[in-house]
Each structure stands twice: as C-alpha cells, then as structure tokens.
Structure 1
Amino acid sequence: MTVDVGRWCERHLGSAAEDVRLISGHLSRVFGVRLSSGREVIVKVRPYSPRLAGCAAVQRALWRAGFPAPEPLRGPVVEEGLGVSAEACVPGGSLAPETDSVSRFAGLLARFIALAPRPAMVGTLEPGLPWTAWNHALSGVWPAADDRDDDLNAAEHATAWLDETGARVRRRLSRFVRTPAGVRVVIGHGDWEAQNLRWNGDEPLVVHDWDSVTAAPEAVVVGLAASVWPCGMAPRAATVAESAAFLDAYQRAAGRVWSAGEIEASWAAGLWVYAFNAKKASLDGASWLAPDEAEQRLALAGA
C-alpha cells in the first residue's frame, strides 16, 4: 500500500501536511496527520472495494444525525487500486464507560441502528466482512480469512468440532433469514468491540472503524456485538453471561421484546464470529473457544 499521504492531503484537503505518522497497519494503514492549517486528521489507506463508498455514506449520515462519528472529510478516493479517505481526528477518551458498561454499549448500538439509513439508500455494503460472512458463497464452512492467506477449509487445517460448530450455525441462520423477522435488514457496526469505541465518563466520545459497517437482520447485527463487545477492555470475547446481558440490554434500549427466533438467531450470529476467530487461532495452536462453551451457545441458538 503506497500513497504519498502528504501530497494526497494537499490535493484533496487543500492543506499541506506538516507531520505524518503511522498509527496502525493491520487491515488498513492508518495515518495521523497534522495539516499546515493546524487541523488534525486521520487518513486511511486500504485496498479499494465498492463497499467503502457505502460505509462512508453511513458514517456521514450518522455524523450529520449527531451520532459520535468522526466527521468524514474526503473519500474514499480511488488511487491505483487503493481507497484513500480522511476524517476528523477525535483524540482521547477511555475504553470503558464509568458505570454499567453492558447497558452503555448495547444502548449505543441501538442508537446506531435507529439512526442509520436504510440499506437501499447507501449503495452496496458487499462483500460482507469475513467474520460476519456466515452466508458466504464459497465452498466449505469458512470464508476467506481477513488477515491471513491460509485456506481455512483445507484438509490439513481440519478441526472436527469447530468445523461442525460453524456448519450448524450456518444452517440455523439460513432458517432464520427465511422467516419474517429475518427479512428486516438494518445497517449496523460489524465490529462492535470496546477497542473501537471511546467514552468520556458515561457519554460516548467516538465510534471508530467505519469500514466495518454491515447490513444484516437486526438480530444478527446485535448477536455479533453481544459476542465481542468487551474486547479491548479485556483480552477476550464475551462470556455467555455477558452476551445474555447484552441481548437483554439491547432490547430494553430499542424498546421491543424479541421473539424466541430472533434471540436464537442472535446467539447463532455471536457464535459465528466466535468460531471464525477460533478457527483462525487454531492454525497458530491457540485456543479462543472451548467445545463446552460452543455447545452451550449452540443450544441457546436452537442449533
């Protein structure tokens, strides 16, 4: 990924860059830039995908609605196969609110979904993010990994109980999306982890990682979040009890009691991201999900 960030800022933001520093370089290269105008901005460089334009449209819509999103400034601009964009820098904040973390995280997601535009208004958000892509069209249980070249479905990487878990989750969610509840697709955030949010006391300061915007049935979006929301506050995903508390808190915040089918679909979606991450970790000899917890979550999912 090669872009002259300083020159890009001068062309597209109308101000030269006085200082450019790399902040991170995982799935995207993210730069903190101080412009000659004195403004601090964030510039993101990553392989271009049409979904980035849809993500930017959602970010702009929520920023305009008063949601704690960084102000989008430019892009994505396509340069030599890369998508380059800039947004306002929102520094500071803490990884956790001061009180009642689960209600704060769930309530903010409910606000996100309520304020987000309808999927048809923002263009494509496909292809889906691998850790959300339970309905991928590839052969085998697993989609292509997001951060490694290994074929997760290769025979040498077989993990019988984990592969069966993924297959059962896919079957359960396939049944759900054929129901009336599963047809209602919303826009949400597909990586609702503590590390992507910042707080001032109990008030949300900013939500980061807008490339992870996704469109899916509400129960799926919320289930994904219920599984991962503590990541960053703690070096782990949610416990079963923390996931259950998140699902309850979300329903209170959204003002609607879900059907049994929606609740089961949320458990299935949460297990999908858990199992996908566990599958990748297994290639490195690490453990992310225990078989007994997988069975407990499968039971809650009706799978």
Structure 2
Amino acid sequence: MTSREARDPVAVVRENLAEWEVPHVELDVFGTADAAAIVEQVDGFVRRHLGTGVAAYLFCGSSVGSTHGLLLADGRRVVLKARPPAETNPDLPLDRESLRQVARVQRFLAARGYPCPEPILEPEPIGRGLATIETYLDAGRLVDGHDPRGRRLIAAALVEHIGLLRNMPDPPRIGHFAVPDERLFPTPHGKIFSPSESDTGWVRALGRRARDITRAADSPLVLGHCDWRVEHLRFADDRLVATYDWDSLAARPEVCIVGVDAHGHTADWSQEQVRRVPTPEGILGFIADYEAARGEPFTREQHRAARAWAVYWIAYGAWISIAPGDTDWPEDSWPALLRRCGEELLR
C-alpha cells in the first residue's frame, strides 16, 4: 500500500462504487449504494467508537468486505473494515467471534514484531454488518511473484508467521472456506460470481480428484494466511514491512495453506497490466521455496497433497469465473491454467 493522498470522502467512495455494475458488498453492509450515505455511516461509527470524525479518505475498496482508509480529524490514519452479515456467506469468518479471534492473532503477531496491522477496535455493528478498525500500514513496495527472488521472499514470510503462530497459546480454530464433504466448493466469495454448472463439469471433476488426493496425506494443523499473495504484502529490500487481509487467516493442514498460497501468490487484482495467475513452474517453485525456508522437505505424500490443494483452488477459481457457453479463455485466467496444468500437478 503506497502513500495515499488525503481526498474528499464522498468522491473516493463514489469512485469505488463506480467500478462495480452492482455494488453488492456495500448494499449488504450499508443498505445503500449512495456514497454520501455510506460516508455518513462510517463517520458516525468512528465518532461513536473513537471520539473523532473523518477528515478525509485515503482509499476505499471492495472485496469480501468494504475497506476504508481514513484520515481522522485528530490526525490518526486508520483502516475501517466493514463486513456483510455473517449469513451472507456461511463459509467465511464474518461472525463476531471469528473476527475477534482474527484480532487476537494480529495482536499476537504485532507484539512479536511481525508487520501486521494492530487492532484498534474489535467488531462492532455498522449498518447491517460488523466493522473493525486497525492501524494503517503504509510502507514498502510490491515484489514480483513471478520472479524467483520475489517468490522466495513471499514463501519465507509465510513460513515465518506460521512458525510464530505455532507457539500461540490456545490458538483459535478459525474456519475459512472449509466446506462439508457433501459440497465440493465453498460458496463463491462474491455475489458477482454465478457458476455455470453445465459448463464446468470438467472443472468439478478435477476439483473432486484433487480433494480426494489431499485426504491421503498426514499434515499438521497450523494457523496461516490463506490469501498470501503479492497484493497483500510489502517489502523493503528483502524485509517484510507490511501485510494485509488477515481475515483470510485459517486453521488448516499445513499442506492446504501452502497449496492455496502457491496457487495465488502472484495475484494482484489492483493492477491491470500484470499477469495474475502463476505458471505451473511457479506453483512448484513456491512449494519448493516454502520447503527450503521451512528447513525440512515435505514427505512425498505431503508434496503431492500440496500440489493437489493448488489444483483444487485453481479449479474453484475456474468454477466461479466460467460464463455459460464460454470455452475460450485468456492465458491469464484460472480456466486456462487449470486446462494447462491440472492433470500434470495431480500426477
């Protein structure tokens, strides 16, 4: 997150809303797509809980939740993250207790010098959902996840925070995209996605095979960030200085966390002119870099399971993005990547 200019709140929110044909997240959270009304709710929230108002906006963005970078009237720079009601997506940790546990993990890491935002306010009601406030980290730069050096830095930073969290007393069992056996994939993480079941039979077949393979490996349960990728990380030289999106924390088998992060480590959806999806070689390279930083290789079964988890999440991305009748996909897309390397990675 580079340095941001303080700007008019309504203008910043309006620009974010204009990026969406239907701003589902803001409608779910605030009950409105009117920029001025959203700013009014945000300002009222920080006045109630922090005792000061919003002077200007640093940024505004939408994904699973609605995120607002704020310059407060007392000079503080903070980030308000507003999530939709928990029932909006039962496969994501949107309930109050899960968000409290995420905040507990952030405090644990920050107290040990790990560069994640420190919670300022635990979840409180805003509109129809819940919001938290945390410190604003504005340091460092992006690395290139396709470059071996950048990939090694990303993998090593994942090893570091998983290692720290192994020593956390009473670690929380946070669920993130964990689905029951009767369902293959989690509920799509955004309402903009409408999977075409008739056009994704081959995708679901690969996803099912991948999931079956993951069950054959014995892997310890760990806490780790499950969206550990270029867009959420900043480095100064070779040192990690800022991390974002800790709502993606989950307690999962280690090979699952490595697989999901191998599949997505190159993605930066905030930039148009960069390749988002990795190459098959990049996926294998990330797993190898993780093993090297870990100081101990996976067993053969664990390595195969990590690759299978990568295939599973590539299949999820393909499943939610294939439109009815769509059979020709750009190279930088999940369906194209799955078609290219799904079978290879499962072998």
Whether contact under 8 Å (1:106, 1:246) holds in the other structure is: yes
2:210 counterpart of 1:162: no
Equivalent-residue separation in structure 1 for 2:294 and 2:338 (angstroms): 32
In angstroms, what is the RMSD of aligned CA positions? 2.4
Residue 175 (structure 1) shift: 2.4
Equivalent-residue separation in structure 1 for 2:109 and 2:139 (angstroms): 20
Equivalent-residue separation in structure 2 for 1:65 and 1:9 (angstroms): 28
Equivalent-residue separation in structure 1 for 2:242 and 2:153 (angstroms): 13
Aligned position for 2:212: 171
Task: After superposition, give the CA deviation of every residue in 1:181-219 in whole Å (9 maximum; x if it has no partner).
Answer: x2x100000101101111222221211001100111111
> What SS does the aligned partner of 1:175 have?
coil
Residue 150 (structure 1) shift: 6.0
Task: After superposition, give the CA deviation of every residue in 1:260-286 in whole Å (9 maximum; x if it has no partner).
Answer: 111111101111111100111112634
Aligned position for 2:223: 187
Out of 289, 309, 313, the residue aligned to residue 269 of structure 1 is 309
> What SS does the aligned partner of 1:74 have?
strand
Q: TM-score when scaled to structure 1? A: 0.86
Whether contact under 8 Å (2:207, 2:312) holds in the other structure is: yes
2:50 counterpart of 1:7: no
Deviates more, 1:264-273 or 1:89-98: 89-98
Whether contact under 8 Å (2:210, 2:312) holds in the other structure is: yes
Residue 60 (structure 1) shift: 1.4
Aligned position for 1:251: 291
Out of 152, 159, 163, the residue aligned to residue 103 of structure 1 is 152
Out of 55, 72, 75, the residue aligned to residue 102 of structure 2 is 55
Amino acid at match of 1:166: G
User: Mind listing any 5+ residue stretches in structure 1 that lack a counterpart?
Assistant: none
Equivalent-residue separation in structure 1 for 2:253 and 2:183 (angstroms): 23
Residue 117 (structure 1) shift: 5.1
Aligned position for 1:42: 79
Aligned position for 1:144: 187
User: Mind listing any 5+ residue stretches in structure 2 that lack a counterpart?
Assistant: 1-28, 31-37, 85-93
Superposed, which structure 2 residues align to 1:173-252 within 5 Å? 173-176=214-217, 179=218, 182=219, 184-232=220-268, 234-252=274-292
Residue 102 (structure 1) shift: 1.5
2:103 counterpart of 1:67: no
Whether contact under 8 Å (2:216, 2:301) holds in the other structure is: no
Whether contact under 8 Å (2:173, 2:251) holds in the other structure is: no
Q: TM-score when scaled to structure 2? A: 0.76
Aligned residues: 286
> What SS does the aligned partner of 2:67 have?
strand
Equivalent-residue separation in structure 2 for 1:19 and 1:9 (angstroms): 13
Whether contact under 8 Å (2:155, 2:293) holds in the other structure is: yes
Whether contact under 8 Å (2:235, 2:241) holds in the other structure is: yes
Whether contact under 8 Å (1:52, 1:125) holds in the other structure is: no
Whether contact under 8 Å (1:161, 1:291) holds in the other structure is: no
Equivalent-residue separation in structure 2 for 1:99 and 1:247 (angstroms): 12
Percent identity between matched residues is 26
Task: After superposition, give the CA deviation of every residue in 1:206-250 in whole Å (9 maximum; x if it has no partner).
Answer: 110011001111111111111111112843222121112111111
> What SS does the aligned partner of 1:42 have?
strand
Superposed, which structure 2 residues align to 1:125-140 within 5 Å? 125-126=174-175, 128-129=176-177, 133=178, 136-137=179-180, 139-140=182-183
